[in-house]
Chain A
């Protein structure tokens, strides 16, 4: 196929393609540069600022005196515990305002070192708490802000604070560490090296309050987050049993963050996926794909999507957990981003061996697939097209016939007018695959007529004018191969003027085949 090099870039990521059994299904392409608005659902998770009261046990913002920065600096730098506490309180109040908290000003005033030193004052829990709160909010700013907190040595102190007998102080530390972990792979790994994981897990017990568990789950999820590099395997193995436990709770926030954690851990190569699959959590994840809260369903779907991008065996685990019953429902979800994600998962299952493709047919996935090809949002259509191409390249002849009869051919032909060169190329690949199936049945002529009737010939002919060279070539090859006019089919040897010279070279050599 002329489309080889391009489509193969993605095809080779699907398992069973390119004849290399080691190649993978399509992994999430999130490493790509994005032009779109960042997905809001995911981003707000990264850092959290505390702008509301944690609980009524301690002094709320309203009761704290408002001080100007100069006074705060003076208070914090004083040697009087009372002033220090007052200054810290005023600082965290300023830092908790929703709009433009003066992060930079506080840092520039050189207060971070002081705050960090307060963290270890076990005999001054109020001061500890206020300092922790202020630092948490600074760490929730940009990377630069987080960096300031870390560079002032806050990490060991916060980890030590996790063990604080005062729950609200320990929780504050959880929160701060979550913000630091969320900054990126390098801080995450620094935390892990400082043994944050056992310290966190030690706080999980049957009577840990839900609010605390929510924060803790979120911090764990940030410790699982980010690739290049992935979190160290040992840490992952430490966290997983607790995450699995958390996934069996019913609080939606805990479920959501625990699912996000699993989605990060499964967003990698097959070995990473395997670690998740071996915990036996897949059936629970599939169950959570039907959760009524979108904040739970989304990361559950994402996790399963990652898992079916793995090996045949890994995919089969999800299939055995009846994921194919849930996907059709999600493909009709009102949010296009959910439809897209479901179609992506489907496209990866369709990249499997023909017995998985058969399960996909048996479970009635073709009608919703065709429906999405026809009327879906563009992002979903794009994934659905991949599903068709994968299906046609791995399916048996009978399965491909079934697909065509379900209306997929008509639908992809209609999509040949989309304004996206890659999608067009992938469709041409699918059409070519369908023709190869027809060749095995000796029915290429019938298929040519069908494609023409469906308006495909006109479209493919038009694509011969496409500006993209590969699209043009693929269209041209299809036309040449299958749509020729029915009637018109389309070592140097010495010579003289009159004839070629028949002779063998004199070089003696031994033949060896």
Chain B
């Protein structure tokens, strides 16, 4: 591609077309550009265009295209062709800085980004003169250019803030410091001087303050990894000037915008960060300056207004004070009573006030409000910062701070009492203050777990919280109502039970409040109260204590789901689930009505599942309804099936992917309730469950396997008789699952159920193939998990079909195979099997091999008899071998790329542990003793001689113990 006018012309035309709204025009143009971008000179053509084109739009478009081109192509990836020719690379690096600095801002930004992408790859080695070129521009005196340089430098250096220390990184930083630190310092001083000479020129000031902010950001990046020698030597200059800037105000720079932070705020905020960095990491060197900064920042806080635009500055500044006041050697800066009072009064209290922005969120954006207020995503808010400062101060001054705040709380409550309608915000602030003062440790599960002993939480509850809860009009002062509910919720572990019981019916009535925040809080508070544990590990609040309120609770919860804005409110749905779980039998009379409402809800949300938590709790509630009702009367299962199957069918037909794992679990639950037969409605579905498309989704696998296991358990015979043609498909699923290291255990669950429940004759013809597949996998990719499952399977097979069948099967696949499996797999690996049922199966299976398999006694397998017995005794007596070879740690991650939907396991659809051997064998050790006894009587003398020649002494001693316990003797 020549660098000529014709090509410029062509590219311009295509660039223009990429802006066309019509995809028929736009797409081919984009395709074309993509197809030519590999040509030499392409990037230079773009640069020429963005510099020289007459059309402003084309210039910007060329700049953006250029940046994206650099982003995609600049990095040289090993073993891949270099996508930008060396000539182009050199030309770009030679021109781009100049071009960036002489371009208008819009283009400058794009080129600055491009420089930092190139810099990330090439700087410093392959772009040695970049820094000097930049530094030289500082002398231009043109702040448009200087700011361009500073911005580029910032994008190059900001990675120093988060990368790990390394020789490579520090060499780069050192190089940057050598060329950049001094000019930057000179620029900093000069810029501050210019601010003074131009103190009345607002336009000049704006540019200069942008420079100062960028310089402060660069300071942060360059000082982040360690304190550089240069900055230690020049600390006086920097800190004195930073301090000066913190205390500076200039009317001209104040903005009218309430929301957007102005230049002054941005600069001061960065300076707070810089001071915090030094205070934290370079305390020894920074100590002389720190008190000055504390005073300045505190004064700054006192004089800063309530507008949103100051939020970042205020929260940064408060966080600085919070981190300093916890350090023992700065304690003295705060301990004066006047200082403390002043901080409490002028810094903390004002920042805890409920602002109009909070009020707007409470009314119009309840989700956001709840997230901040309840779930703690309030990291950058003023309230959170103020809370942190309270906690920091309490470390050394809990008594005085509590006393100061008590006075405030009382006066604010007094104000409220005078005129609640006007002064309700005072009470809100008072409650917030008490909460932040009292809470020393908190968890979602238990609320506040450690409280400030100087605050009487119960008294405050009785005197100030209960009244709001009891107020008959739930819609009056919704913020205070929400505060009161939240108080109960977070201090639930601190309040006496009788207070909580008193609160329950009040909370139930607040479920009807119109305010979304208020009824959500009520639902959440109830849900949390219901999870509290009382003595004996039972729930603190009993179903009996709930009896008087049960009907109203259920009514109000379901009514709340109909309130506008709460149609898919996860807190309410979770409260429904928790209520069901708490009330158990008491909900049975209501279920016929409630199940209709739940299925209706399910139908609605399945059209467009958007709230995963809501949906999860909805399914949990369905499971609870089924379990609780059917426990009392299993025949009611059919009525659930009648209610649910139409919706389930719709979900399956529309392939609502998010819901399939849930549906399979509920169906498993329902099917497992049936006594040993399988309704035809289920059989009709069976072929569909084998469809590969379902099994391609990871989240479906566990619930589908469980469902198929339920089919086999209840209908193994039906499948054999009426759907025998589906057996290969079923085995195909098994084959698919054992091919995956992540899912092989699920494949074994399935094959175990097939062995256990399918009539023998229906699978005889497939048995050999099954083993060949397993052996192939064993040979190709042997993992610990696979071996454990494999051992359980072959032993289960042995228990079901006998040891002879197992031996003959193996040896029919390959001569002497049985011996090889014993020697290479069973004997060395059995110690790894875990789980009580799994261990029992293996113990019984191995006992059968030892005692019911003639070829173990008189063929070349005989030499394996004692080692196998020894392994079995070790299996009984030694701790489980839970070692995993090093290279296996990451299997689950490696083997499931593109893992999208996690398997959403329903807690209340739980499956019972199944023991295929059951009571037939109580104690496997006794079984071993008895079986050995039987063997020894069949061939007298052989068993004792085998034992005495090669069984080790410890094992022999254990074995004698078993024989004694079973009261048998070997002959």
Asked if residues B769 and A500 are in contact (CB atoms below 8 Å), the reply is no
Q: Select one of B229, B620, B778 contacting A513, CB under 8 A.
A: B778
Contact with A along B688-730 (1 / 0, CB 8 A): 0011100100000000000000000000000000000010111
A143 to nearest B CB, angstroms?
19
User: Which of B329, B735, B817 has the most C-beta atoms of chain A within 10 angstroms of its own C-beta?
Assistant: B735
A420 to nearest B CB, angstroms?
7
Asked if residues A491 and B739 are in contact (CB atoms below 8 Å), the reply is yes
Q: A418-B280, A466-B162, A504-B769 are in contact. Are A488 and B613 (CB under 8 A)?
A: yes
Contact with B along A473-513 (1 / 0, CB 8 A): 00000000000011111111101111111111100001111
Q: A378-B282, A419-B277 are in contact. Are A35 and B769 (CB under 8 A)?
A: no
Q: A35-B170, A35-B229, A467-B162 are in contact. Are A453 and B443 (CB under 8 A)?
A: yes
Is A452 an interface position by the 8 A CB rule?
yes
Q: Select one of B227, B444, B695, B824 contacting A500, CB under 8 A.
A: B695
Which of the segments B11-19, B23-31, B899-907, B958-966 contacts the partner chain? Answer: B899-907
Asked if residues A511 and B775 are in contact (CB atoms below 8 Å), the reply is yes
Is A63 an interface position by the 8 A CB rule?
no
Q: Select one of B280, B327, B825 contacting A375, CB under 8 A.
A: B327
Q: How far is the CA of A490 from the CA of B904 in the complex (A)?
A: 6
Is A111 an interface position by the 8 A CB rule?
no
B311 to nearest A CB, angstroms?
17
**Residues on B with beta carbons closer than 8 Å to the beta carbon of A420:** 281
User: Which of A31, A466, A467 has the most C-beta atoms of chain B within 10 angstroms of its own C-beta?
Assistant: A467
Which of the segments B171-179, B192-200, B301-309, B920-928 contacts the partner chain? Answer: B171-179
Q: How far is the CA of A468 from the CA of B225 in the complex (A)?
A: 14
Is A80 an interface position by the 8 A CB rule?
no
Contact with A along B217-229 (1 / 0, CB 8 A): 0000000111111
Is B574 an interface position by the 8 A CB rule?
yes
B6 to nearest A CB, angstroms?
45
Give the total of A residues in contact with B, Cβ under 8 Å.
58
Q: Which of A24-54 contact B (CB under 8 A)?
A: 31-38
**Residues on B with beta carbons closer than 8 Å to the beta carbon of A19:** 886
Asked if residues B443 and A449 are in contact (CB atoms below 8 Å), the reply is yes
**Residues on B with beta carbons closer than 8 Å to the beta carbon of A487:** 574, 577, 616-617, 620, 907
**Residues on B with beta carbons closer than 8 Å to the beta carbon of A498:** 687, 690-691, 729
Q: Select one of A453, A466, A495 contacting B732, CB under 8 A.
A: A495
Q: How far is the CA of A36 from the CA of B732 in the complex (A)?
A: 66
Q: A422-B165, A468-B163, A488-B616 are in contact. Are A35 and B171 (CB under 8 A)?
A: no
Contact with A along B817-835 (1 / 0, CB 8 A): 1001100110000000000
Is B161 an interface position by the 8 A CB rule?
yes
Is B445 an interface position by the 8 A CB rule?
yes
Q: How far is the CA of A493 from the CA of B735 in the complex (A)?
A: 7
Contact with B along A333-377 (1 / 0, CB 8 A): 000100000000000000000000000000000000000000101
B489 to nearest A CB, angstroms?
16
Contact with A along B738-764 (1 / 0, CB 8 A): 011000000000000000000000000
Report the nearest B residue to A452, measured CB to CB.
B443
Is A151 an interface position by the 8 A CB rule?
no
Contact with A along B154-171 (1 / 0, CB 8 A): 000001011111010011
**Residues on A with beta carbons closer than 8 Å to the beta carbon of B735:** 493, 500, 502-503
Is B779 an interface position by the 8 A CB rule?
yes
Report the nearest A residue to B329, measured CB to CB.
A375
**Residues on B with beta carbons closer than 8 Å to the beta carbon of A488:** 613, 616, 904
A54 to nearest B CB, angstroms?
34
Report the nearest A residue to B172, measured CB to CB.
A33
**Residues on B with beta carbons closer than 8 Å to the beta carbon of A422:** 164-165
Q: How far is the CA of A228 from the CA of B720 in the complex (A)?
A: 77
A384 to nearest B CB, angstroms?
15
Report the nearest B residue to A465, measured CB to CB.
B379
**Residues on B with beta carbons closer than 8 Å to the beta carbon of A458:** 376, 379
Asked if residues B731 and A336 are in contact (CB atoms below 8 Å), the reply is no
Asked if residues A511 and B443 are in contact (CB atoms below 8 Å), the reply is no
Q: Select one of B329, B729, B776 contacting A504, CB under 8 A.
A: B776
Q: How far is the CA of A486 from the CA of B163 in the complex (A)?
A: 34
Contact with A along B467-493 (1 / 0, CB 8 A): 000000000000000000000000000
Report the nearest A residue to B223, measured CB to CB.
A35
A427 to nearest B CB, angstroms?
14
**Residues on B with beta carbons closer than 8 Å to the beta carbon of A35:** 170, 173-174, 177, 225-229
Contact with A along B791-832 (1 / 0, CB 8 A): 000000000000000000000011001001100110000000
Report the nearest A residue to B740, measured CB to CB.
A491
Q: How far is the CA of A467 from the CA of B446 in the complex (A)?
A: 32
User: Which of A375, A488, A500 has the most C-beta atoms of chain B within 10 angstroms of its own C-beta?
Assistant: A500
Asked if residues B769 and A503 are in contact (CB atoms below 8 Å), the reply is yes
Q: How far is the CA of A37 from the CA of B173 in the complex (A)?
A: 14
Report the nearest A residue to B441, measured CB to CB.
A453
Report the nearest B residue to A7, measured CB to CB.
B164
Q: How far is the CA of A491 from the CA of B895 in the complex (A)?
A: 11
Report the nearest A residue to B692, measured CB to CB.
A495
Asked if residues B736 and A504 are in contact (CB atoms below 8 Å), the reply is no
A26 to nearest B CB, angstroms?
14
Is A281 an interface position by the 8 A CB rule?
no
**Residues on B with beta carbons closer than 8 Å to the beta carbon of A317:** none
Q: How far is the CA of A453 from the CA of B391 in the complex (A)?
A: 13
Q: A487-B574, A502-B769 are in contact. Are A453 and B691 (CB under 8 A)?
A: no
Q: Which of B902-916 contact A (CB under 8 A)?
A: 902-905, 907
B75 to nearest A CB, angstroms?
16
B217 to nearest A CB, angstroms?
14
Is A65 an interface position by the 8 A CB rule?
no
B864 to nearest A CB, angstroms?
14
Q: Select one of A33, A377, A417 contacting B171, CB under 8 A.
A: A33
Q: A6-B164, A32-B170, A468-B162 are in contact. Are A453 and B442 (CB under 8 A)?
A: yes
Is A454 an interface position by the 8 A CB rule?
yes
Q: How far is the CA of A491 from the CA of B735 in the complex (A)?
A: 10
User: Which of A19, A34, A38, A418 has the most C-beta atoms of chain B within 10 angstroms of its own C-beta?
Assistant: A34
B879 to nearest A CB, angstroms?
12
Is A167 an interface position by the 8 A CB rule?
no
Q: Select one of A33, A34, A375, A455 contacting B328, CB under 8 A.
A: A375
A507 to nearest B CB, angstroms?
9
Asked if residues A513 and B825 are in contact (CB atoms below 8 Å), the reply is yes
A460 to nearest B CB, angstroms?
12
Q: Select one of B376, B691, B821 contacting A499, CB under 8 A.
A: B691
A202 to nearest B CB, angstroms?
42
Q: How far is the CA of A406 from the CA of B613 in the complex (A)?
A: 39
Asked if residues B817 and A500 are in contact (CB atoms below 8 Å), the reply is no
Q: How far is the CA of A496 from the CA of B726 in the complex (A)?
A: 13
Is A421 an interface position by the 8 A CB rule?
yes
Q: A449-B446, A453-B442, A500-B692 are in contact. Are A36 and B739 (CB under 8 A)?
A: no
Q: How far is the CA of A504 from the CA of B733 in the complex (A)?
A: 13
Is B571 an interface position by the 8 A CB rule?
no
Is B249 an interface position by the 8 A CB rule?
no
Q: A419-B277, A489-B905, A500-B729 are in contact. Are A377 and B283 (CB under 8 A)?
A: yes
Is A462 an interface position by the 8 A CB rule?
yes
**Residues on B with beta carbons closer than 8 Å to the beta carbon of A419:** 161, 224, 277, 280-281
Q: How far is the CA of A467 from the CA of B158 in the complex (A)?
A: 10
**Residues on A with beta carbons closer than 8 Å to the beta carbon of B80:** none
What are 5 A-B pairs at a CB distance below 8 A? A449-B449, A489-B905, A499-B691, A511-B779, A513-B782
Residues of A within 8 A of B (CB): 6, 19, 31-38, 336, 375, 377-378, 417-422, 425, 449, 452-455, 457-458, 462, 466-468, 470-471, 485-493, 495-505, 510-513
Residues of B within 8 A of A (CB): 159, 161-165, 167, 170-171, 173-174, 177, 224-229, 232-233, 277, 280-284, 323, 327-329, 376, 379, 441-446, 449-450, 574, 577, 613, 616-617, 620, 687, 690-692, 695, 726, 728-736, 739-740, 766, 769, 772-773, 775-780, 782, 813-814, 817, 820-821, 824-825, 886, 902-905, 907
Which 3 A-B pairs rank lowest in CB-CB distance, beginning with the nearest? A500-B732, A499-B729, A491-B739
